[in-house]
């Protein structure tokens, strides 16, 4: 089960898991991209289903999980990829509504989906939960107070859930990507460039220059690590926050 699958990392996660033979239920709020992705993968004979819903709403999460269980009988892997970029603003200019919306989109959604799949995984005595965090939760950017707070909170959620659910053979890990090339990063870079009074290209070059590999991250890098964490190859890994940042973050 993969959330936040309308673009970028989410779509790449769905593609790689489906093409590896997994049966995938995925969701996002926008139906158009979901339908296109579902049709694309069904042409390749993949067993997938996309649902348009909002995982910050408990009722929608219940519908998502119930639909997956009716169709497939169990949920072995949950990937909490849904995320809200939130505003790029100074602390004093960030409204309470913007703060709450950013935490809900990134952190509350993760909690609700985790909470909904735990009973089934506990009954099956097996499960892998993969939370998609961010390097921004470890090495924050100025003017990103809500997003950075939410992503650091996701690491705390990951470690706490790993401790609690480990005795039931449920593993919980967090992937922390760096700047991932794509539409969402373009939006964030524009906000950051505007705050600094520079061009988007200048900001992009500066970000790339910070990492030892001097590059952005690809969505396929994140999806490849998620495949490993979902598999039995990582059966003794839990409670970890793993960076995919081209070396930008090393802790």
151 is catalytic: yes
- Grouping H, G, I as helix, E, B as strand and the rest as coil, residue 76 is coil
- d(Cα 138, Cα 186) in Å, to the nearest integer? 21
Give me the catalytic one of 134, 138, 211, 234. Answer: 134
Q: Find the DSSP H helices in the chain.
A: 8-19, 31-43, 58-72, 96-103, 109-124, 145-165, 183-196, 200-210, 219-230
Active site residue 72: no
> Is 36 a known active-site residue?
no
The span from the first CA to the last CA of the chain, in angstroms, equals 28
Cα 176 to Cα 183, 201, 210, distances in angstroms: 18, 24, 16
Return contacts of 20-23, CB within 8 angstroms, 24+ apart: 20/227, 22/77, 22/230, 23/47, 23/48, 23/72
| Pairing label, strands 77-80, 241-244 | unpaired
Of 6, 109, 138, 147, the catalytic one is 147
d(CA 206, CA 247): 14
Q: Which residues pair with 37 in a beta bridge?
A: none
Active site residues: 134, 147, 151
């Amino acid at each position: 089960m993969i959330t936040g699958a309308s673009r970028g990392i989410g779509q790449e996660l769905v593609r790689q898991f489906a093409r590896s033979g997994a049966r995938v239920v995925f969701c996002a709020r926008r139906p158009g991209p979901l339908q296109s992705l579902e049709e694309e993968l069904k042409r390749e004979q993949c067993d997938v289903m996309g649902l348009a819903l909002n995982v910050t709403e408990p009722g929608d999460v219940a519908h998502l999980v119930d639909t997956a269980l009716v169709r497939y009988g169990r949920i072995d892997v949950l990937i909490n990829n849904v995320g809200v970029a939130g505003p790029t603003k100074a602390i004093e200019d960030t409204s309470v509504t913007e703060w709450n919306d950013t935490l809900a989109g990134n952190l509350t959604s993760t909690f609700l989906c985790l909470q909904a799949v735990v009973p089934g995984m506990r009954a099956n005595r097996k499960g892998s939960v993969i939370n998609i965090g961010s390097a921004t939760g470890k090495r924050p950017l100025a003017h990103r107070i809500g997003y950075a707070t939410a992503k650091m909170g996701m690491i705390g959620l990951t470690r706490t859930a790993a401790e609690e659910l480990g005795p039931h053979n449920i593993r919980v890990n967090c992937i922390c990507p760096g700047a991932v090339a794509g539409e969402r990063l373009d939006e964030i870079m524009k906000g950051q460039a505007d705050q600094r009074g520079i061009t988007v290209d200048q900001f992009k070059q500066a970000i790339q220059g910070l990492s030892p590999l001097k590059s952005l991250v690809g969505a396929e890098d994140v999806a490849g690590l998620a495949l490993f964490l979902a598999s039995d190859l990582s059966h003794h890994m839990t409670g970890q926050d793993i960076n995919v940042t081209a070396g930008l973050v090393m802790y």
